[in-house]
Structure 1
């Protein structure tokens, strides 16, 4: 193991101290309170559940803005150790080796009482080797998690215990360098948080605008089958996709992630503006606007609008309408072609359709830009975690 990281602030030099984690941290007992024994919004003692480490909390927990559940009355543990600022907590189990020993650090407790709960490991640097804010990132680093992956136990569920920390090491620089690293990474985290807020606000804005401009009783009513040709794609297997020589044209499927793209083919089946929707499965009734050269599978329905209608605008109206027509079949919900054809929607004149469509295209463009920025910030953080620690 190298005694200096690959990437370092230029004003620092000299080797880092390599420290066994079990010698750096003292560990404290945790409780086993389940979600049923917790609630939000009271003034009782707070409890860190391991699920919040996996999803819901940033690396640096700041209780001036982050929130933890409170322990319900009559469920208070008899023996406990209150968390202090600078303490770390690890999730001791996960189905994913990348998530085992995922850490948080208590950066600001806002004078609140917190204990660590179910499936967490509570550690504290009583030797004062580290500054508040450094450990959470050091234990999030690739250098540390590569060690954890080698020792995590289990088949379907991977887990660690405090004993495993006698096999793990982290590098510790001077406190001045620790502070610089921690401050830098915390600023990136804050930028990621801001970016998430911008994206969420854009979603809310789109929803609010949708409620106000996509519905009017004064608009003319149409059945979908009267304004569009209705079809669907064909069976396209993953084997066919894997055998393509120069895959260029997207294949849209029933999934909603990645814009519905399951792969690419050398050739295309459709060209131009269409509306696709998912006909089968959990995502049945999900509507997409498509424009370009593309393919789609047999679980994608397709609408090709006749002249006099704006395809993008109609896709927005349908996206609001289709969920009411999905068959109530929990095993395999469906929205088949005949049902889609009989859906009735209200539409304004073409010029108004186009004007409203422009607003939503701008919102979509903004969302795409900010989502791309978020992706780049996350990549940047991951790169720094892979290069700035040993």
Structure 2
């Protein structure tokens, strides 16, 4: 790709060489190049993979699809006469969301004969050979999303209507240049999709390895049922040295609170906070997502840190036992099965369990250090690979953000 020279104006910073130097960008109003309509029917209960008619619902546009829809996930069994069907040239924009910042996500629906659900603004071409629907979807998501969000109306639910969208402007190059850009972005998206698949496969490998180890443990003489209080010792050290406050998240684990959340939620005086050493197990005692009884993580932070006094902190008898417990409790089913009989839910969904109470159930664990080390090292190798692949994904996503910023005006 070529960067524009200083004399060029009103063109992107980054262009393919064959288009560089050409002042061929035109501004268009949405109302002049699109025909607008809205989807029909299709409640959540009326969509399932078991039905016959392919369909797209507005909530799915936020969570299941990206800029381009080439395959449809759900189906419906409603009467065809009650539905609006695609011709494969539509751009879909949700017209409602719980948060205004959610609104403004565009998807190019390239599949014909798909039922389009209600609460979706549907844009179709008013003129031929003006735009690529894929280019427009990328453009809306990365140049107009904030503008569309600012048009949202409503209190608990925010809405953006076709009448709002008609006032928007889009700047388009020639169709040839649009198509060239789309091919390039599609290749980048494919890389990101593949990278996400690698990461998901590695997560499944960790989960599958834990399951295999569990089955082996029940029949092996080198493993036995042990209470957690046999392998974990509660750490009661308090934060007298003013160590930095950390949070514990499902995806990241033990992490600096300010770096992860953008601000500190700690009390002014943190001297009563619990100190965590590298390798310690931390139990959060706070419900979140798939973990209604709290999450359990090992700290991989090399320095001493502090966490909320509400959390339980435990020193493993060796770091490998800590590793095994960390990986075991990554699975929400394992965590919930272990905790549900120990925890008492209080008012406002609070979790009532003492630090010692957490240790009062059994799990199958290796009885000698050699087996413990070998098991932990296997899981650590997979996790190291997972960490590397996540870093690669972050690089791809950063690359896409930069390129999109430079490609559009």
> For the superposition of Structure 1 and Structure 2, which TM-score range results when normalised by the shorter chain?
0.7 to 0.9
Does residue 299 of structure 1 match 2:321?
Answer: no
> Cα offset for 1:307?
5.6
1:161 CA drift (Å): 1.1
Unaligned residue ranges in structure 2 (runs of 5+): 1-8, 265-269
Residues 264-304 of structure 1 deviation map (CA, whole Å, 9 limit, x = unaligned): 79999343421112224344342211242222211321111
CA distance in 2, matches of 1:27, 1:309: 60
Q: CA deviation at 1:39?
A: 2.2
Match of 1:333 in 2: 351
| Counterpart mapping for 1:81-120 below 5 A | 81-107=84-110, 109=111, 112-120=112-120
* Larger CA deviation: 163-172 vs 291-300: 291-300
TM-score of the two chains, using structure 1 as the length reference: 0.84
Q: Which has the higher contact order (CA 8 A, sep 6+)?
A: 1
Question: Shift of the alpha carbon at 1:308?
Answer: 9.4
Q: Secondary structure at the match of 1:147?
A: helix
2:357 aligned with 1:343: no
Q: 1:198 to 1:278 in 2, by over 3 A?
A: same
> How far off is 1:167 after superposition?
1.7
Q: Tell me: CA distance 1:175–1:333, structure 2 relative to 1, closer, same or farther (3 Å).
A: same
Aligned to 1:225: 229
Write out per-residue CA displacement over residues 19-49 of structure 1, whole angstroms, 9 at most, x where no aligned residue. 00111101134213211222223332x2221
What secondary structure is seen at the aligned counterpart in 2 of 1:32?
coil
8 Å contact from structure 1 (residues 86, 131) kept in 2: no
Cα distance change on mapping 1:358 and 1:160 into 2, 3 Å: same
User: How far did 1:7 drift?
Assistant: 2.5
In 2: Cα distance, 1:166 partner to 1:196 partner: 36
Q: Which residue is equivalent to 1:271? A: 277
The equivalent residue for 1:355 is: 374
**Pair 1:23-2:69 in alignment:** no
Change (3 A) 1:197 1:106: same
Match of 1:168 in 2: 168
Q: Is the 8 A contact 1:38 1:72 kept in 2?
A: yes
Q: Deviations over 1:96-120 (max 9, x none)?
A: 333213110023x2xx511321210
Check the 8 A contact 1:221/1:347 in 2, yes or no.
yes
Task: Classify 1:255/1:139 alpha carbon distance in 2 versus 1 (closer, same or farther; 3 Å).
Answer: same
Matched, 1:70 2:36: no
Tell me, in whole angstroms, the C-alpha distance in 2 between the residues paired with 1:285 and 1:87.
Answer: 43
Give the total of aligned pairs: 368
2:46 paired with 1:60 = no
Q: Secondary structure of the equivalent of 1:304? A: strand
Which whole-Å CA distance do the structure 1 matches of 2:158 and 2:80 have between them? 29
Quote how far apart the aligned CAs of 1:254 are: 5.2
8 A Cα contact 2:139 2:408, kept in partner: yes
- Going from structure 1 to structure 2, the CA distance change for 1:69 and 1:181 (only over 3 Å counts) comes to same
Q: Which residue of 2 aligns with 1:133?
A: 134
DSSP 3-state at the match of 1:139: helix
Question: What's the Cα RMSD here?
Answer: 2.9
Q: Deviations over 1:328-372 (max 9, x none)?
A: 527223443222222223322101111111111111111111112
